[in-house]
Structure formats: structure tokens, C-alpha cells
Amino acid sequence: MIFKTIDKKDFNKFLEILIENNSFFAPQKIAKDKNNKPIYDLRLVNDFKEIDFNYDILKYPPRRFFLPYREAISSFEIKNSSWQQNINYETKVPRILLGLHPCDINSLNKLDKVLMLGDYPSPYYTIRRKNTFIIGMDCDPKPFCFCRSVGTHTVQHGCDMFLIDIGDRYFIEIFSNVAFDFLKKVTTKDITKKDDDEYKRIRRLKAEKFTAKIDVTDLTKILDMEFQSDVWKEWGDKCLGCGSCARVCPTCYCYGIEEKIDLKFQQAEKLKILHACTLIDFAEVAGGFNFRPERHIRLKYRYYHKHRGFVEAYEESLCVGCGRCGEACLAGITVPEVISSIRE
């Protein structure tokens, strides 16, 4: 990896160049909550002045840029009794995302393992992943962040460059050739001993800020043993079966397929729609049989996929500890609380 620093004014110049030539998404204030606290998310920007660098977290995960909530995976022209299928992999202009935190970058690395590097790679996902330039940014842990417990608080790969704010300049970790070449357009500096020290100091400070955590020691085995635990029932009594958790999760990738025909019966579309394992109709099959009719069992399986099944298959958790599911859950079901209730 190559390290550089860049003055903030040079970085703005760098952004100007990128914004001018690409479709560029960056953090913006999108709303205020009831306590007047601003809420941020990625939005298309046309000028670097529109970017809000004070953002804390991105409300919705960047997963949607790669794995949209809903997409037509093919369309059909129907004529009499024959039909023609059209498949269109998205080959739009390259996209740039600025401001992904380590949890979100690692979430993409996990999705890569399933959707790009697995036995059945998805061309839809792969083309978007390859066509997206990612500028990661360091963050300040929030009370619900527990990425450190699952090892996703640092970035080893998965983005093109990663920025750490060290006052009047950024410390840059350069991951890709593309980023290296892009950066030639502006002035960057080699790192000095001072930068090095500042980097380490900031890293130490960040590590101290984490408050939420989960204990993953032997978690797969404990989950195995607690499969029949009454604790699941207690959480199930609270769960609303609303699927908000899966909607805001950066790593949920389960989907359903729906076919839509136009009213003239001349055109049809096959839609892929991200689903959620906590919904009552998630495991319902043709004929109406439901494999998971009980709320607590559905909720349990969400945890088993994240913290057991995926770990067994990939030796890492599918949860990146972003805490979004707990924040979005009206019933107050959070990963740290569920995991500790199972361990007790």
C-alpha cells in the first residue's frame, strides 16, 4: 500500500476534477430528526461545495449502488406464442462514491465473496462493483457502532483510496492503480514522521471511543447450543416482522423474483427484489406452505445467517457491526443485546 498526504485545498481540487467527469455521490444532509439532529446520506453532487464533510454516518447502506432494492434482471417481448428475452447488464458511466466508512467498505468485501467471487457470480453486481470508484473515509465511532468486535473497523482492501482527517490535510491510503493515477493530477506529499505520529495518535483515539461491542468468541458453537433457547421467543414477542433491519443492513442479500406483464400482454419483466428473512412471506412457497411461520424463528434465522452460517462458510461474520439494524428497529432489537442475551 502507498501512503500520501494531501492538503485539503488540493483535495477539493481533486474532487472538482472527479465531479466534473463522473457521476459522483457524496454525503449530504438529507433531513433532521425530531431532536433537530441532522441525518446524512449519499446523494449525487455537482459541486464539491455540496458535500457535507460533517456527516456522521450514512443513513442507508451503500449496498444499493451494487445490489439495488429492486431491479429488472431481464425483459421480454412477447409476440403471439413466441418471445424474445433481453438482458441488459448495466454499463453506465463509471460512478464515484465518497465517504464510505470501514464498515461499509467491508460490507462490500463480504458481498463480493458471495456475488462476485463465489460459485455463481452475479454479472449485475460485478459490473457495478468494477465500475465504481470508492473513496473511503475514517469515522468517529457512534454509541451503536461495534465494528471493532467483528474486525471490520479497518480497511485492508475493497476501496480505491481511504482518507483520514489529520487537521489541515488528509492522510491517504492508496489501494488501487486508478486512485494512484488520478492523484497525479494534484499535488500530494510523501508522509513525514509527523504525519506518521498523527496517524497513530488518531488510530489510538478512535480505538478508545468504541462503547458497543459483541463477544464473538465461540459464537457459532454457542448459537448451536442455544438453538432452542427461550430467549428467541422473548425477542420474537417484540419483533414486528417489518423487515426494516434487512432493509438497512449493508450485507443482506436475500431476494425474491417477481414477474410483471404489461396490461397488453406484450411485454414482461423479471424483477429481482431484495427480501427480508423476518417477513412473514419470506419462506412461503408455491401452494402456500410457509416454512417459517413464526416470528421468533424468522428473527433467529437472521442471526444464524449473520453469525453462524456465514462464519462456517467464509470464516468471518456477515455482520459488519454498523448498528443500523438496531437503530432502525422500532422494537429496539439490537445485535449487541441479542448476542449477549444468547451468551448468558
Partner 1 sequence: MQYLGVELIKPKAAFFDFSCCEGCQLQIANNENKLLDFISLVEVVNFREILTERNNDYDIAFIEGSITRKDEIDRLKKIREKAKILVAFGTCASFGGINKLKNKFKDIEWVKKEVYGNCPIETNDKVMAVNEVVKVDFYIYGCPVNKSEVEAIVQSIALGREFRYLKHPVCFRCKEKQNICLYEMGKICMGPLTRAGCGARCPSNGNSCIGCRGPAEEPNIEFMKTIMIKNGFTERQIRDKFELFSAFKE
Summarize as ranges the residues that interact with ligand SF4 (CB under 6 A): 57, 101-103, 139, 141-142, 145, 147, 153, 239-245, 248-251, 278, 299, 306, 319-325, 328-329, 331, 333, 335
Sequence length of the chain is 344
- C-alpha–C-alpha distance, residues 111 and 125, integer Å: 9
- From the list ligand SF4, partner 1, none, pick the one residue 101 interacts with, judged by a Cβ distance below 5 to 8 Å according to partner type: ligand SF4
CA 195 vs CA 138, 147, 208, 295: distances in Å = 15, 25, 20, 52
Tell me which residues touch partner 1 (CB under 8 A). Answer: 30-31, 33-34, 39, 41, 59-60, 64, 69-70, 78, 80-81, 83, 237-244, 247-248, 260-265, 274, 276, 279-281, 284, 295, 328, 330-331
Closest CA to 317 of 148, 161, 158, 175: 148
Q: Please list, in sequence order, all residues whose beta carbon lies within 8 angstroms of the beta carbon of residue 218, skipping any fewer than 6 positions away.
A: none
- From the list partner 1, ligand SF4, none, pick the one residue 83 interacts with, judged by a Cβ distance below 5 to 8 Å according to partner type: partner 1
Residue with Cβ nearer ligand SF4 (73 or 222): 222
Closest approach of Cβ 218 to partner 1, in Å?
32
Residue with Cβ nearer partner 1 (2 or 280): 280
- From the list partner 1, ligand SF4, none, pick the one residue 1 interacts with, judged by a Cβ distance below 5 to 8 Å according to partner type: none
- C-alpha–C-alpha distance, residues 232 and 297, integer Å: 7
Closest approach of Cβ 142 to partner 1, in Å?
15
Closest approach of Cβ 277 to ligand SF4, in Å?
9
- Mind giving me the DSSP string for 80-91? TTEEEEE-----
- From the list ligand SF4, partner 1, none, pick the one residue 103 interacts with, judged by a Cβ distance below 5 to 8 Å according to partner type: ligand SF4
Closest approach of Cβ 321 to ligand SF4, in Å?
5
- C-alpha–C-alpha distance, residues 17 and 182, integer Å: 9
Closest approach of Cβ 54 to partner 1, in Å?
18
- From the list partner 1, ligand SF4, none, pick the one residue 91 interacts with, judged by a Cβ distance below 5 to 8 Å according to partner type: none
By the 8 A CB rule, do 97 and 132 touch? yes
Residue with Cβ nearer ligand SF4 (109 or 278): 278
C-alpha cell at 269: 419483466
Query: The dihedral of CA 184, 187, 192, 194: what is its sign?
Result: negative
Residue with Cβ nearer ligand SF4 (45 or 333): 333
- C-alpha–C-alpha distance, residues 80 and 130, integer Å: 39
Distance of CA 173 to the CA centre of its chain: 20
